[in-house]
């Protein structure tokens, strides 16, 4: 059991690291582009990357006709609805604030997982979950005990959280029949066609006038390859191995990674309060995984 522990937890940790960094890269790109343009371009690059991997390593799986609707429906919720909520939420919030709200997903995941798959959590899992969420809240509270969150940002990010929860159920069903690479490459390709009409109607003209520079190109490549490709493959693998609830618990690490990279790359304010919140988040994730015995 000890021999597979590190490889197993590599998948959720790597996925959350890349997602935590994605808020920083998206914030950089929002200086040049509107949200739909960013999503559309990153999905195009991601699809090319994932299909290239399949071609190079000969990793092809035939999708059954009966599963077409499940691939399409899952892509509607993620990347389509999730990315719309996340990117517009980020437009009205800071990277750390956005990542903190996204990190509330584990609070609702056990309910969804139990309802659809009868997954159960241990008492330590639940205690760790709420401890880490407490750390998330500490990171958001201001000096006057109010939350530093824009109302529009909350609305969009709440939509993203709901989309992610429904997506986790749909993708869980797909993991019973397909490998993570197959699932994500087709979902991202479907996402390209879902975003294409919005891009062409509302943002294509302004996008074509942007002159590419190193910051834009590097941010798009990192966002597309790490956050839109590898992280989703790793996350899907995590759900396949750990289940929805335990995989989503690691989402509480996203604000920690985002805050660290925002501090170094965007000069976002970093306080002792944020540091205390991060420590609680990490402690909660650790406690939640101490004992995986069912109660």
244 touches 109 (CB < 8 A): yes
Count Cβ atoms within 10 A of the Cβ of residue 22 and give its class: 0-12 exposed, 13-18 middle, 19 or more buried: buried
Give long-range contacts, CB 8 A cutoff, 24+ apart: 267-271.
Answer: 268/94, 268/95, 268/96
Closest CA to 20 of 230, 217, 260: 260
Identify which of 100-104, 225-229, 282-286 has the greatest average pLDDT: 225-229
From residue 177, how far is each of 61, 67, 240 by CA, in Å?
A: 10, 9, 10
Per-residue pLDDT tens digits for 103-150? 778 777 777 877 777 777 677 778 887 888 888 788 777 666 566 567
Q: What was the pLDDT predicted at 120?
A: 73
CA 235 – CA 248 distance, rounded (Å): 9
254 touches 102 (CB < 8 A): yes
Q: Please, which residues have CB within 8 angstroms of residue 216's CB and are 6 or more apart in sequence? A: 29, 32, 210
Give the number of residues written for the chain. 295
- Under DSSP, the state recorded for 141 is B
Per-residue pLDDT tens digits for 217-265? 999 999 999 999 999 999 998 988 888 878 888 888 888 898 888 888 8
CA 276 – CA 278 distance, rounded (Å): 5
Q: What was the pLDDT predicted at 250?
A: 87
CA 157 – CA 102 distance, rounded (Å): 7
The packing angle between helices 151-175 and 105-117, to 10°, is 30
Q: Tokens 């809240």 label which residue?
A: 137
Q: Please, which residues have CB within 8 angstroms of residue 62's CB and are 6 or more apart in sequence? A: none
286 vs 72, residue with greater confidence: 72
For residue 173, the surrounding DSSP H or E stretch is: helix 151-175
Cα separation of the two ends of the chain: 21
Per-residue pLDDT tens digits for 148-205? 567 788 899 999 999 999 998 899 899 999 999 999 999 999 999 999 999 999 999 9
Q: What was the pLDDT predicted at 4?
A: 44
Q: What was the pLDDT predicted at 139?
A: 74
Domain spans in the chain, listed from the N-terminal domain onward: 2-288
């Amino acid at each position: 059991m000890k021999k597979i522990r590190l490889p197993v937890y590599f998948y959720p940790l790597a996925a959350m690291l890349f997602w935590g960094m994605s808020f920083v890269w998206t914030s950089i790109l929002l200086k040049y582009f509107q949200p739909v343009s960013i999503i559309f371009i990153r999905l195009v690059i991601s699809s090319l990357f994932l299909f290239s991997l399949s071609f190079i390593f000969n990793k092809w799986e035939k999708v059954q006709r009966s599963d077409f609707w499940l691939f399409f429906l899952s892509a509607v919720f993620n990347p389509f609805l999730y990315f719309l909520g996340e990117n517009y939420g980020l437009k009205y919030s800071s990277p750390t604030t956005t990542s903190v709200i996204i990190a509330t997903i584990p609070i609702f995941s056990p309910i969804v997982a139990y309802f659809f798959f009868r997954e159960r959590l241990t008492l330590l899992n639940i205690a760790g979950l709420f401890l880490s969420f407490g750390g998330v809240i500490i990171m958001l509270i201001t000096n006057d005990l109010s939350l530093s969150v824009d109302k529009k940002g909350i609305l969009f990010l709440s939509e993203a959280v709901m989309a992610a929860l429904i997506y986790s159920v749909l993708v869980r069903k797909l993991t019973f029949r397909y490998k993570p690479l197959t699932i994500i490459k087709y979902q991202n390709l479907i996402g390209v066609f879902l975003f294409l009409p919005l891009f062409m109607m509302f943002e294509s003209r302004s996008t074509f006038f942007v002159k590419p520079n190193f910051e834009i190109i590097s941010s798009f490549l990192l966002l597309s390859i790490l956050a839109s490709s590898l992280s989703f493959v790793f996350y899907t693998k995590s759900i396949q191995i750990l289940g929805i609830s335990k995989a989503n618990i690691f989402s509480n690490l996203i604000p920690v990674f985002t805050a660290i990279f925002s501090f170094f790359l965007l000069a976002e304010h970093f306080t002792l309060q944020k540091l205390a919140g991060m420590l609680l988040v990490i402690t909660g994730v650790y406690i939640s995984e101490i004992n995986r015995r069912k109660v």
